[in-house]
Amino acid sequence: MNRFAIALVLFAFACTQAPPPAPAPTSAPAPTATPAPVSAAALEDHYGDSPETSVPVPVAGDEVKFENEWMFDRFGRFRRLKFGVAHPGDRHYDVITIELPDHSEHTVYFDITDLWAKWGREGEKKQ
């Protein structure tokens, strides 16, 4: 039994003295490009806030219903304060100023150029 105990001690000592296994080779992680910081103002949605970002009104259907539903989906409850048609260059826009329940005012631009052309064609047919 004495020999068995000595062999067990020697085996345990040999196991603790073995060098640790080499770590598995790993490839260096690919450098990732960090996106440039963006201001909160740049992330704000400006759809419909100017003639350049105007909302195109479809030719088919009721254009007033489309405009009212678009504004309601975007802002919630609103009240129309002003309405006008603008003609910069060869484009035509409905310009609508609305008031929200918090008394803030917003001006929304709808591009009606295609409708304007349709209405012109319809007027020519009547004459």
The candidate with the shortest Cα–Cα distance to 49, out of 58, 40, 38, 41, is 41
Owning domain of residue 120: 48-126
Inside any domain, residue 24: no
For the chain, how many structural domains are there in total? 1
* Rounded Cα–Cα distance for residues 127 and 124 (Å): 5
Inside any domain, residue 60: yes
Inside any domain, residue 40: no
* Rounded Cα–Cα distance for residues 13 and 49 (Å): 79
Q: Given pLDDT bands bounded at 50, 70 and 90, which one contains residue 75?
A: very high
Q: Mapped to the 3 state alphabet, what secondary structure does 45-107 carry? A: CCCCCCHHHCEECCCCCCHHHHHHHHHHHHHCCCEEEEEEEECCCCCCEEEEEEECCCCCEEE
Inside any domain, residue 4: no
Q: What tokens does 118 get?
A: 């349709």
Inside any domain, residue 52: yes
Q: How does pLDDT run across 24-59, given as a tens digit for each residue?
A: 777 767 777 787 887 766 666 677 888 988 999 998
**Weakest-pLDDT range from 50-64, 89-103, 108-122:** 108-122
Inside any domain, residue 94: yes
The candidate with the shortest Cα–Cα distance to 57, out of 117, 113, 121, 127, is 113
Q: What tokens does 33 get?
A: 């490009």
Q: What tokens does 38 get?
A: 């963006």
Inside any domain, residue 30: no
Model pLDDT, residue 117: 86
**Weakest-pLDDT range from 28-37, 89-98, 110-119:** 28-37
Longest dimension (CA), the chain: 123
Inside any domain, residue 18: no
Stretch 12-24: mean pLDDT: 67
